[in-house]
Amino acid sequence: MFQILNEDGEVVNQDDVPALSDDELKELMKRMVYTRILDQRSIALNRQGRLGFYAPTAGQEASQLASQFALEQDDFILPAYRDVPQLIWHGLPLYQAFLFSRGHFHGNQFPEGVNALSPQIIIGAQYIQAAGVALGLKKRGKKAVAVTYTGDGGTSQGDFYEGINFAGAYNAPAIFFVQNNHFAISVPVEKQTAAKTLAQKAVAAGIEGIQVDGMDPLAVYVATKHARERAINNEGPMLIETVTYRYGPHTMAGDDPTRYRTDDLDNEWEKKDPLVRFRKYLEGKGLWSEEQENSVIDQAKEDIKKAIKKADSQPKQKVTDLISFMYEEMPPNLKEQMEDYIEKESK
């Protein structure tokens, strides 16, 4: 498993340390702290009934944010439902992320220049889409990549194999992430596959695969940067398995992780916390302090407060909105239904 920082924040592979400036290192830490606060507040908002569907992200910040940090604005992100943080740092306004959680159509109307698709709810479907987007980028001569994410459970889906095989066969500039947090909801990865790693599944598709310490932001960044360089230089797609852990439930929709995870396992992974690890590394370089971290926390809380207020102010979604946004040209049967609905609504 590729690693640069151990759980104590110590460099174990000096030759692999990326050439990030001090400001870039601090920016990455800022994003990780900010996102941890966003996760905490989103869970609270969900419990208050102010958000809808929500999948906690704590523990996966290095895997999610360090990978996005290695991308360019022209790159396309095809996220799973837990990967909203990457969209936010790729340019999606926070209030729209909240609207997505509520199922409001405006949460999926991404601003111009935010190259991404909406979070995919169907497990693994984004892998096929990523292969298609990557091939489109290649045909247009773009020096950009399509990056997609799934969990370990996604590798048990047929779409996973179809996506990586298609991308491999057509040498498409795609990066496929498998965020191995050990449990597909409640099913441990050992019961999903007999393979020793998920990265080795790349072999069947004829593409490069690597297993990375997903709690190590520097290792994730370097692996992503390497994959991107290969892709834009027509050297083929890559599968990156980030070995990570989600501290919370699978989603806030009734999952109880205490039924399938032990306290000992939780405690073991808390010692590998990506924020603690990176904080120690930056403190050792004199780049981070408690004062800086508190400033980021305060900013995150203020931004979240404003974003939820803006989300609350959006017009309520109507049934007619769902119908009108579904098709460019409405089929006759839906047109008839919509006319009936509008007539009844007006009475």
At 111 the pLDDT is 96
CB 55 within 8 A of CB 257: no
Q: Give the model confidence (pLDDT) of 15-48 as tens digits.
A: 999 999 999 999 999 999 999 999 999 999 999 9
At 70 the pLDDT is 98
Q: Could you give all domains of the chain from N- to C-terminal order, each with its CATH number? A: 14-314 (3.40.50.970), 317-347 (no CATH)
At 345 the pLDDT is 77
* Catalytic-role residue among 90, 182, 230, 250: 250
Work out the mean pLDDT of the chain and round it to a whole number. Answer: 96
Q: Is 104 a catalytic residue?
A: no
* Catalytic-role residue among 161, 170, 260, 341: 260
Q: Is 197 helix (H, G, I), strand (E, B) or coil?
A: coil
- Element at 159 (helix H, strand E): helix 158-169
Q: Give the model confidence (pLDDT) of 263-302 as tens digits.
A: 999 999 999 999 999 999 999 999 999 999 999 999 999 9
The ranges of the chain with pLDDT < 50 are: none
Q: Is 250 a catalytic residue?
A: yes
* Catalytic-role residue among 36, 246, 261, 279: 246
Q: Is 182 a catalytic residue?
A: no
**Strand pairing report for 238-243 and 174-180:** parallel
Question: How many whole angstroms separate alpha carbon 125 and alpha carbon 335?
Answer: 29
Dihedral sign (CA 155, 13, 10, 300)? negative
Alpha-carbon distance values, 311 to 37, 107, 123, 153, 208 (Å): 18, 9, 27, 32, 42
- Lookup result for tokens 């190259």: 115
At 327 the pLDDT is 82
